[in-house]
Structure 1
Amino acid sequence: MAIPQLPNVDGLLVTADNPARADLLGIGMDHARCAALHNYLIHNAWISEGRPPAALHGNNINTYFTTHGGAAEALRPRLHPSLAAFLDDARLPPDGLERAPFFFWANEFTSPGEFFAEPEADLFDEPADSLVCLYSTNIGQGGSSGGGLFYHQGIHRAAVFMHMDDHDFALPVQAHLELWHPLETVLSNWIELIRLGKITASPREAAPLFVGEKIGPWEWHPYSEAQVNSCVHAWDRLCNAIESRMPPSPSTPANPPEPEPEPLLAPPALDAASIPSPSFARAFLSRARRPHFRSIAPGLLLPPASAASFTASQPFTHLPHPPQVVPPVCIFPAANSDLQADVTGWLNPFHEAFREPPAPSRVPAGVYTESVDRSVLDTAEEGFRLLLPYGLHGDSARKSDGSGVSAGSATELFQHGYKPFGGDYYRPQRLERLLDHWCGLVVRGVWDVGPRGVEGEVERFREADGAARWRDYVISPTW
C-alpha cells in the first residue's frame, strides 16, 4: 500500500549498490542510518491508521530514554556508544495514544528490565552484556526470555528470534556469523516487504483482506503482485541463460523471426486443472513465457501445455479442501513420470487437507507450489517444494541456515530453515529464489546445457548429499 507523506529513505536502504556499514567492529552500529529506518517504520504505522503526520514532529516525540527515564539511563554505561546514540535518535509515538506495533514481527523496544538477554548470553557463553533483546516480538513469547530482535554488541549485528528454538540455530554467534546482519540490513529488509506488498499497514479496525489475523495495523499477505512480477523476471533470467547456451540447430536459419511469446499455460489448461483464481501459481504460469527448450533443471521439465496432460499431472488440485486453502500445483514435473516422491506422514510438506485420504501417499516427483491456508499468518503462496523420488541422507545436504536436511527427507532441499529476518521455520523458500539459484548453476557451468535444455537426470540432485558439491544446492539465507 502506498502511504503518502512518508519520509524518503531510498538512499538509506541496504542494497547491492548501497551496502551496510562494513567496519562494524571498529565503529559499531551505523546509528543515524538505523534510526532513520526505524523512524520510517514508526511513521508508516502511524499514518496508516489515519493519524496526522505532524504529530510525529515537534517537542512531543519520545525516545527510549525519555519514555523509560531513570531505568533506561541506568543502562547507558553498559551500552556501546553507537547503540546508545541509536536509542537517543529512534522515535516512539506520542504519549496518551495507543501505540501500533512497530512492525509485523516486532512489537516495541523491550523494557529496561528485559533489555539485556542475560540467560541466553550465559547459556551460549557469550560475553557479559553482549546480547540485548532490542525489540520484543509480536508472535509467541516476547522479551528476552523468548523471541525478539536480538542485537549483539560485540559484533554489532542483529537476528530475529521468533521462538526459543531459534536460539539453537543462531547462537553462539561466532559459529553462525552468516545469520547475523547489521541492523540497517534487517530494517531495510522489513521496509522492502512493505514495498513488495507482502506486508501492508491499514487501520487496525479494518478487516484483513485475506480474512486472517492482523497484528495492529500490519497484515501479512499470501502473495503480492510485485512478487509475481519479480518471479517472472527471475524466470526470464533463467530461460535466457539456458537458451544462450543451447547449441544451434542445423535446421534453424541464421536469423529466424522471433515468434510471439506464449505463456507456460493458457487459461483453458489452468481452468481444466482447477488452478485457483486468483492465486500465485495461476498468475505465474499464465505470465511466464514458454521457452524454446523442454528441460528446466536436471530431470525436470516444463509443465505440459495441453489441458489434458497438465490436468493429469496434478495430484492435488481436484481434491476437496476448505475454500481458503490453496492446493499445491506441480509446475515442473520429473521427465520420468514413474519417479514418485513419498509424502506419507512427516514427509508431506503440504497443508493438512492434502495429508490424509483421498490424498495420495506417493506423487510424481517435481517442483510444486506451496499449499497455504490464506487465513493463517506467515504464509507463502510464492513458495515451492522440490519433491525428490528419494530421501537424502542428510550427511552434507544443508538448508539456508546451515543446518542439515532431515535424514530421509525428500522435500527439504533448497529450503530456508531458521530465518534471521523473522518468520517461522516452516515457511517455504520463494520460487523466485530457486529460479535465480538455478540460473547461477547454469551460468557457472555447474549444470550443462544441451539441445533440449538443462541436461542430466533427477539423480543429479543427490550431489547435495556429497562433500564435493553440497554448496551448489544451498540458497543463501534471506527472508
Structure 2
Amino acid sequence: MPSYTERDLEDSLQAFQQLVGAIHDRMPSQPQSVEQGLLEMVTAGNPDILPANSFAHRFLAQCPRPAFNHIAPGLSIAQNQPFAPVSGQADANNLFPLLLFASKSSAYQELRRAPWGEQVRDSPFAPDFNNISSYPAGLYLSESDPHGPHPFEDGCKLVLPFTLGSNAFAHTSDGALIGEHVRRQGDEAAEIEPKSAELYQLGFNHFIAAHDVQLSYVLGKWLEMIEEGNWKVDEHGVVGGVEKWREADMEDHWAEYQLAMSW
C-alpha cells in the first residue's frame, strides 16, 4: 500500500494555498509578494532530515510562505523539529513526527496506568518517541512507519497544551465524545477521559483501517472557520491564542470544530 498518493499531495497543497489566500485577503493591508517554499524554514535549515520523496518534503517545498504569523489560533509556522534525528540525515525507512504549525506552549503530557499500576507517559505518537517528554503543542504530521501495513504520510494530529472532553461537548468525526469509553450495559452515562490530541480525529469507522486524519481535511476545516467568520483575522493572521481551542469543548461552539467523517 502506498504511504500517500499524488492526489493526497495535491489536495493538501490546494487546501493550504486556499487557507493562506483567505487569511491574506482579510488582513488590513495586503502582502506585496508571497515567498515560495517552507522546507528550509520548517526544517530549521536542514531539509536533509526528510527523504526527498516523502510527503512532508514535497509538501513543504511547494507551499507558499505566509506573510503573517498565525495560521490558526496560537499556531505559527514551525521553525524547529523536536523529534528530528540526531544524525541530521533522513532515514528512508523511518519518519518522525514533523511539527508543521507550532504553539509557544508545551504539549500536554498525558498519563496512563500501566498493567503493573505505575502511571506512565502516554504519547500521541509512536512508542519510538516516548523518550522525548517535552515538545511544543501544535499540528504534527504523525506517520513514522511509511512501510507499515496502513501508512498515511499525510496523517496528522493537533496536539494541544490542555485536554478536551471534561465538558462532554467535544466530538470526534464518528460522533463519539472525545475521551469517551465504551458505555457498559446499565450505565446511565459514558465515562469521559479528557484527551489532548483527539480533536479532528476520525474515531471509529467500520469500513477502513484506523489512521490519523489526513492533513487536507484539517486545513480545509481551518479555511471553513475563516470563511464562516468563526475565526477573525488581523495584521498578524488568525486572531486568538491557543486558549481559543477550548471552544471545541463548549456547548455553543463544539459543532464548529467537529470534522466530518472522511476515509
TM-score by length of 2: 0.82
Contact 2:19/2:222 (8 A) holds in 1: yes
The Cα of 1:260 is off from its aligned counterpart by 6.0
The residue aligned with 1:431 is 215
- From the two aligned structures, give the one with the greater helix fraction: 1
Q: Which runs of 5+ in 2 are unaligned?
A: 112-119, 180-192
TM-superposition CA deviations, 1:4-55 (whole Å, max 9, x none) = xxxxxxxxxxxxxxxxxxxxxxxxxxxxxxxxxxxxxxxxxxxxxxxxxxxx
Distance 1:232 1:322, change over 3 A: closer
Matches within 5 A, 1:289-368: 289-303=64-78, 310=79, 313-318=80-85, 324-334=93-103, 336=104, 338-342=105-109, 345=120, 347-355=122-130, 357=131, 360-368=132-140
Partner Cα separation in structure 2 for residue 346 and residue 404 of structure 1: 22
Matches within 5 A, 1:448-459: 448-459=232-243
The residue aligned with 1:401 is 174
Q: Does 1:288 align with 2:55?
A: no
Distance 1:381 1:241, change over 3 A: same
Distance 1:475 1:343, change over 3 A: same
Contact 2:47/2:57 (8 A) holds in 1: no
Matches within 5 A, 1:172-187: none
Matches within 5 A, 1:234-253: 234-248=15-29
SS at 1:366's partner residue?
strand
The Cα of 1:322 is off from its aligned counterpart by 7.6
The Cα of 1:323 is off from its aligned counterpart by 5.5
Distance 1:434 1:471, change over 3 A: same
Partner Cα separation in structure 1 for residue 254 and residue 55 of structure 2: 30
Contact 1:232/1:287 (8 A) holds in 2: yes
Contact 2:50/2:91 (8 A) holds in 1: no
TM-score by length of 1: 0.47
Contact 1:270/1:282 (8 A) holds in 2: no
Which of the pair has the greater relative contact order for Cα pairs under 8 Å at 6+ separation?
Answer: 2
TM-superposition CA deviations, 1:360-412 (whole Å, max 9, x none) = 12311111101231232222110111110011134111000001111231110
TM-superposition CA deviations, 1:283-311 (whole Å, max 9, x none) = 111111112211000000023xxxxxx3x
Q: Which runs of 5+ in 1 are unaligned?
A: 1-219, 304-309
The Cα of 1:244 is off from its aligned counterpart by 0.8
Q: Does 1:417 align with 2:225?
A: no
TM-superposition CA deviations, 1:194-242 (whole Å, max 9, x none) = xxxxxxxxxxxxxxxxxxxxxxxxxx21112221121100101111111
Runs (4 or more) in structure 1 with deviation over 4 Å come to 267-270, 319-323, 343-346
The residue aligned with 1:472 is 256
Partner Cα separation in structure 1 for residue 55 and residue 226 of structure 2: 26
Q: Does 1:373 align with 2:145?
A: yes
Among all aligned residue pairs of Structure 1 and Structure 2, give the percentage whose two residues are the same amino acid. 30
What RMSD over aligned residues (CA atoms) do the two structures have, in Å? 2.3
Partner Cα separation in structure 2 for residue 381 and residue 275 of structure 1: 12
Partner Cα separation in structure 2 for residue 233 and residue 367 of structure 1: 18
Contact 2:34/2:65 (8 A) holds in 1: no
Partner Cα separation in structure 2 for residue 411 and residue 287 of structure 1: 27
Name the aligned partner's letter for residue 325 of structure 1.
N
SS at 2:108's partner residue?
strand
The residue aligned with 1:461 is 245
The Cα of 1:349 is off from its aligned counterpart by 2.1
* Larger-Rg structure: 1
